[in-house]
Structure 1
């Protein structure tokens, strides 16, 4: 009975292996089927399963909450195979609209009235898309097709294909900091300043996210910078695309740029290595952070000069925050007024100096007044000698 209410709750090693085969064209050695790890061959992709632990955890978290409608037709997802079939349909047909994918896929085995998709089918599609695209799952079709108040990203509308949706979600915009008109040294100054250590010096804290859309999203009110930490998934996509370029269901330029931003945050040195270990142990970052590299996953025809067309604006905002930190408390906010950090500090120092001078002056006035009162009392009431 429990399985009928939660058909995707139980996830075994074989389910994860089938997921890897669907997403990244994994081919196994044959001796590790349904086993937790593979030690028979270093070339077997299942030997890398441990580095995908955060992605497996995200997959389980998304699938375990699926509950079929149980009204009329059979559930849209009866078991994990149905989910993997739907993922494959989305992956293999990047130019087909969302609505057409749902109608054609579920129309093969379920009744669809008047060309309309059911709530359960839309929910199943949302789960499959979130697993494929490394994005948070939408609980309902309405949420996917309605721009909520404060929603920072466009919804995947029925008329959009996966290619168009990704273009809308990750528009390319070359920031002035990374324009080719700027010299290499000028760009180097900006990029070299964006290490986590420097960000921490202005009270910016890191938070792991498994939603690729939130990578490098900075919330000034909480001083939290979100970092996409399931980088092992991106590396698997790049490995698969080396043999088959069509296997990359996310834009390769987006993947490489994201991996390169990780190099900016965590430059290769001992201090950063210690910080990575701390983030993995204490804040739940994926263990792949300890081995983060991007150059090894580039093809020979990939451009080594990154333009940061996807994440350039977010990097620029972080750099601006480093140059001109936001006020930390109510007293600093009194002097904000559009001024930069140096000017704000000068105003604060001047104001504090004036306040101290006025305070000392008032104290001097009080003391002088008290002394005058004492003198008056002595004059008015002289003490007679015995």
Structure 2
């Protein structure tokens, strides 16, 4: 495919999701911002099939699937597919369109989700609204204690230094803030397509400035729920704050340069709701209903890191109460034996001193 044809294909995908731009200049600016997003979309295309071998045909197929998803967010998947042909290519196109439009994992049957920490499959009995509600569960602060927390422990530098966590980019929002603790490494996945989130937020804000859209209304505009978008953008400020952690910012710059990531990650998001940083665990769940469990897990990891090296695992196994009890008993026995030996040695020394003092060589044992 030529460069010009590729640009037109990218713009077609963007227009089908967010609608056409008001001018070519605005469209060109959007294309530039979403360059990495278009690369992601190219990787999400359904595999070629016999009756649809061309890229152009695939684009039209996915474009139609995007329109179908936007127009039917409350229709069950099986009924949704009945509106199209029931062939496997149609199912693959709809799920591919979902991965493009929402950058959310949706594993097609018979395939393996590559590079995903969490595997999700859209059930036939679920609507698109139901599926998003299952993938992005909202927590409630009910029964969450008001224990104080230190939000600075969520900074990238602290996570790396104190917990040994490595930051890795993910192109699936459903993997954002997922901590994968392996036998040797700990990897924190961070969603790297900030420009995608901001473009979706701009579309929603143009529709309704107060961003009070329901999930159904947001999907009809090709967007994720506005609260999820805003909350995700605010997590970047916790990980890579603009002020107060120069080392975290340097880590972000190195990460962007190394993995050729979205440069907008370095910029502050404008127009976000003004909320203070959470001071208690209850505040965390209240301010971040979508991502609070993941953030709380990171705080726990900093306070009590999961062992990854052989020595760390050896030390971890000996932190149990039973092992502490055994060590206490062993220490008591050693102390008792040492005390007994010291007493005997002192008695011998006293007897020797007595014999030297008495000068009576006829005494027994002297």
Question: What residue number does 1:68 align with?
Answer: 49
Tell whether 2:266 aligns with 1:290: yes
| Aligned: 1:171 with 2:137 | yes
Task: Identify the residue that residue 31 of structure 2 maps to in structure 1.
Answer: 49
Give ranges in structure 1 of 5+ residues lacking alignment.
Answer: 4-8, 33-37, 39-43, 108-116, 355-386
Instruction: Give the equivalent residue in structure 1 for 2:95.
Output: 126
Q: Report 1 or 2 for greater relative contact order, CA contacts < 8 Å, sequence distance ≥ 6.
A: 2
Q: CA RMSD in A?
A: 3.6
Name the SS for the 1:219 alignment partner. strand
Secondary structure of the residue aligned to 1:141 is coil
1-structure distance, mates of 2:60, 2:16: 10
In structure 2, C-alpha distance between the alignment counterparts of 1:127 and 1:328, rounded to whole Å: 36
Q: TM-score, normalised by structure 1?
A: 0.68
* CA distance in 1 between partners of 2:41 and 2:109 (Å): 20
**Separation in 2, partners of 1:283, 1:151:** 18
Task: Give the 5 Å matches for 1:204-353.
Answer: 204-221=165-182, 222-244=185-207, 245=213, 246=217, 247=221, 249-269=223-243, 270-293=246-269, 295-298=270-273, 307-337=287-317, 339=319
The verdict on how the C-alpha distance between 1:326 and 1:11 changes in structure 2, with shifts beyond 3 A counting, is: farther
Q: CA deviation at 1:233?
A: 1.0
| 1-structure distance, mates of 2:178, 2:41 | 22
DSSP-derived class of the 2:317 partner: coil
| TM-score normalised by structure 2 residue count | 0.71
Alpha-carbon distance change, 79 to 155 in structure 1, aligned in 2, over 3 angstroms: closer
Number of aligned residue pairs: 300
Q: Distance in 2 between matches of 1:157 and 1:76?
A: 28
Cα distance 1:338–1:123, how it changes in 2: closer, same or farther (>3 A)? farther
- Cα distance in 2 for partners of 1:51, 1:276 equals 19
Rounded Cα–Cα distance in structure 2 between residues aligned with 1:297 and 1:332: 41
2:105–2:119: 8 Å Cα contact kept in structure 1?
Answer: no
User: CA distance change for structure 1 residues 74 and 233 in 2, over 3 Å: closer, same or farther?
Assistant: closer
Contact 1:231-1:288 at 8 Å conserved across structures: yes
**Counterpart among 146, 155, 165 of residue 195 in structure 1:** 155
SS in 2 for 1:12: helix
Secondary structure of 1:226 counterpart: strand
CA spacing shift, 1:75–1:160, aligned 2, 3 Å: farther
Residue of structure 2 equivalent to 1:98: 77
**8 Å CA contact 1:119, 1:141 repeated in 2:** no
Q: 1:171 deviation in Å?
A: 1.5
